[in-house]
Structure 1
Amino acid sequence: MTTTTRRRVGIAGAIVGAASAGVAAAALAKRYAVGRIRLRPDLDANEPFGELGGTEHTLTTSDGKALHVEVDGPHDAPLTIVFCHGYCLNLESWHYQRKDLRDTHRMVLWDQRSHGRSQRGAADDSTIDRLGEDLAEVIERFVPGPCVLVGHSMGGMTIMALADRYPELFGDRIQGVALIATSAGKLAELTLGLPALVSKVVHKVAPTTVSLLGRRGALVDRTRHAGSDIAFLMTRYMGFGDSRNISPTLVDFAESMIRGTPTEVVADFYPALMNHDKLSALHVLDPVPTAIVVGDKDWLTPPDHSKAMAEALPKAQLTEVPDTSHLIQLERPGVVNDALRDLIKRVGQE
């Protein structure tokens, strides 16, 4: 081996060694971070996540998709609360609200198409408007009288799509609305907490990247390992706020719902979320009591989006919760439950 060859081999070895050391350091830091979080007091260690069952039903929609629906609480209650979950979640994301209200209120919870235990829809039908149609059919089938609609994230957009298509339902059949960590539009302009230039690049490449992941969905899903440290950390820091007391069990529960959503579904609904624009439909909600709730650390549907909705709905009550992020109904259930009970009380006074 010549001197030049030995030098090249040495340089290559040094580069590989440095890269390996960097990967090892990153892995060690990741495990250290996860370990520190998991060692904190876990107030929800014994919480029965996913175990609050109701009466199960299947609704076949007008386009032939089977939606999973659960009815809970007193069946003779005069008012029904309909819960619409968010993107990549399922009806179990309303665990604390269901637990708080099930003794006193009739509830309808449903898995939006392609989520949870509902049937997969085609990519062409993965739109917010189609979700609004699904909600109309859920109300028609399972709500015998007046109701309050509660929507988180994409579920809030579903309610807006319903308002856009069926404004006559609001004020009579639908007597109150809660919009939780959601947006009336312009999600494609989010900075995600990144510098403006970086954010612009992310938004430019994101649609192509998500589309590519969708086409390789089955392969990607095989790599989304249960209990992944990376998935745990992403859920912890994107879904929850600054508090150091977030339960590791709660993070695992949220991550399991996200992981349970096929990558193809994530890709199918991404354009619908980015193109969502229902600000002009918000006036339909004005005649009914409306609550808007958002965390001040929400990167995915930031407080400015809730403030824009509140400006369009001057009679709505806006609650901005400090040190809280996107999964607010899980992170701050007491605040959300209080807001819902206050909304229900206002509905009763109308």
Structure 2
Amino acid sequence: MKWSRKTSDGIAYHYNASNSVDEKAIPIVFIHGVGLRAESWEQQLAVFGDQYRCFAIDMPGHGDSELLDKPTLTLDDFAEALKNFINNVIGEPAIVVGHSLGAMTALQTAVTYPEVIRGVAALNAIFDRADSAAQKVQSRAESLLDNLEQNVSDQPIARWFDKDSKYQVQAQMCRDWLDNGNRLGYARAYRMFAYLSGISAAQLQTIIAPTLLLTGELDANSSPEMSLAMANIVPDARAVIVPKARHMTQMTHASEVNSALKLFFEQCTTHGNIDA
């Protein structure tokens, strides 16, 4: 069973669960990265919808979701949107799986609203990003806001896929989402992401839910070193580095990502003696 809906506050989402999945099955929420859409999780929804209640959301200003009514966004704004979705649509704590900016949103929600989080998997997250790296991203973010008509897909597609012919289909999907999405929503979210250095170590130490930090071996911006460092800070965390993967791990290396998520979901099922 799969359908798409929109909440009263403008968040569009996909729901996927087989007819055999019990209505009490554990809920999982998937959150995409900046400029992308819920459909970036298709290879995860297809697998985990046989056992869990799977929700994939379009973040504010992305896909079919509406813009937040404020010109300058913060990570707390996205965390609040996620918290509201979990409370209003699901009605119980959920496992949250985020990619890139979605990973940062998932981690911030685990810090600020731990009561709605059963587990958090952060794919290709950043931590303690160097000022030199951040400045390049910030310059591009400001340029995007100054000119919403400029090309937005060439640079990220080159970084994410490096012209690898094996991933032409995935690269074209991402290019289409970037080129045809809400330009203002993308620019505002990108600027918010550009000024993030990561969740602070002090905040990471407060996360009480089981946590998975996963990234690609070849992801220069969300590097293995970042995920390994976070895994050493979060009390109940594990890091997984996917060999030969770059930034779009859930799309290009779905088998490896799904294997890691399967083990993680099982861990979350038994954490704190919560019944499946």
- Same fold at TM > 0.5: yes
1:79-90 equivalence runs, <5 A: 79-90=26-37
SS in 2 for 1:278: coil
Structure 1 equivalent of residue 204 of structure 2: 282
1:92-103 equivalence runs, <5 A: 92-103=39-50
Q: Quick one: distance in 1 between partners of 2:130 and 2:47?
A: 31
**AA aligned opposite 1:321:** V
Q: Quick one: distance in 2 between partners of 1:110 and 1:187?
A: 30
Shift of the alpha carbon at 1:125?
Answer: 4.6
**AA aligned opposite 2:173:** F
**Residue 133 (structure 2) pairs with residue 190 (structure 1):** yes
1:269 to 186, 189, 198: 189
Q: Quick one: distance in 2 between partners of 1:121 and 1:339?
A: 33
- Report percent identity of matched pairs: 23
SS in 1 for 2:11: strand
**Residue 271 (structure 2) pairs with residue 336 (structure 1):** no
Structure 2 equivalent of residue 68 of structure 1: 12
**Residue 9 (structure 2) pairs with residue 55 (structure 1):** no
SS in 2 for 1:60: coil
Q: Quick one: distance in 1 between partners of 2:57 and 2:140?
A: 30
**AA aligned opposite 1:318:** A
**AA aligned opposite 1:60:** S
Say if 1:271 and 1:214 are closer, same or farther in 2 by CA, change over 3 A. closer
Q: Quick one: distance in 2 between partners of 1:95 and 1:283?
A: 32
Shift of the alpha carbon at 1:147?
Answer: 1.9
Shift of the alpha carbon at 1:328?
Answer: 0.4
Say if 1:308 and 1:247 are closer, same or farther in 2 by CA, change over 3 A. same
**Residue 106 (structure 2) pairs with residue 159 (structure 1):** yes
Structure 2 equivalent of residue 210 of structure 1: 141
Q: Deviations over 1:207-251 (max 9, x none)?
A: 45532432321x33xx67xxxxx83xx555311369x55232222
TM-score (norm. length: structure 2): 0.86
Shift of the alpha carbon at 1:100?
Answer: 0.9
1:286-325 equivalence runs, <5 A: 287-325=208-246
1:88-237 equivalence runs, <5 A: 88-122=35-69, 124-167=71-114, 169=115, 173-186=116-129, 188-190=131-133, 203=135, 207-217=138-148, 219-220=149-150, 231=154, 234=155, 236-237=157-158
Say if 1:331 and 1:162 are closer, same or farther in 2 by CA, change over 3 A. same
Contact kept? 1:177, 1:290, Cα under 8 Å: yes
Say if 1:156 and 1:94 are closer, same or farther in 2 by CA, change over 3 A. same
Say if 1:209 and 1:348 are closer, same or farther in 2 by CA, change over 3 A. closer
Q: Deviations over 1:119-144 (max 9, x none)?
A: 12345352211000000001001223
Say if 1:188 and 1:102 are closer, same or farther in 2 by CA, change over 3 A. farther
**AA aligned opposite 2:121:** A
Contact kept? 1:96, 1:329, Cα under 8 Å: yes
Q: Quick one: distance in 1 between partners of 2:61 and 2:128?
A: 22
Q: Quick one: distance in 2 between partners of 1:261 and 1:188?
A: 29
Larger Rg: 1
- Kindly report the root-mean-square deviation, in angstroms, between the aligned alpha carbons of the 2 structures: 2.5
Q: Quick one: distance in 1 between partners of 2:130 and 2:98?
A: 17
Structure 2 equivalent of residue 260 of structure 1: 180
**AA aligned opposite 2:119:** G
Contact kept? 1:293, 1:320, Cα under 8 Å: yes
**AA aligned opposite 2:75:** I
Shift of the alpha carbon at 1:166?
Answer: 1.8
Contact kept? 2:211, 2:236, Cα under 8 Å: yes
Shift of the alpha carbon at 1:335?
Answer: 0.8
Contact kept? 1:294, 1:326, Cα under 8 Å: yes
Say if 1:210 and 1:183 are closer, same or farther in 2 by CA, change over 3 A. closer
What are structure 2's unaligned runs of at least 5 residues? Answer: 272-276
**AA aligned opposite 1:325:** R
Shift of the alpha carbon at 1:186?
Answer: 2.6
Shift of the alpha carbon at 1:188?
Answer: 4.4
Contact kept? 2:126, 2:221, Cα under 8 Å: no
Shift of the alpha carbon at 1:176?
Answer: 1.4
What are structure 1's unaligned runs of at least 5 residues? Answer: 1-52, 192-202, 225-229
**AA aligned opposite 2:160:** G
Say if 1:163 and 1:314 are closer, same or farther in 2 by CA, change over 3 A. closer
SS in 1 for 2:244: coil
Contact kept? 1:186, 1:275, Cα under 8 Å: no
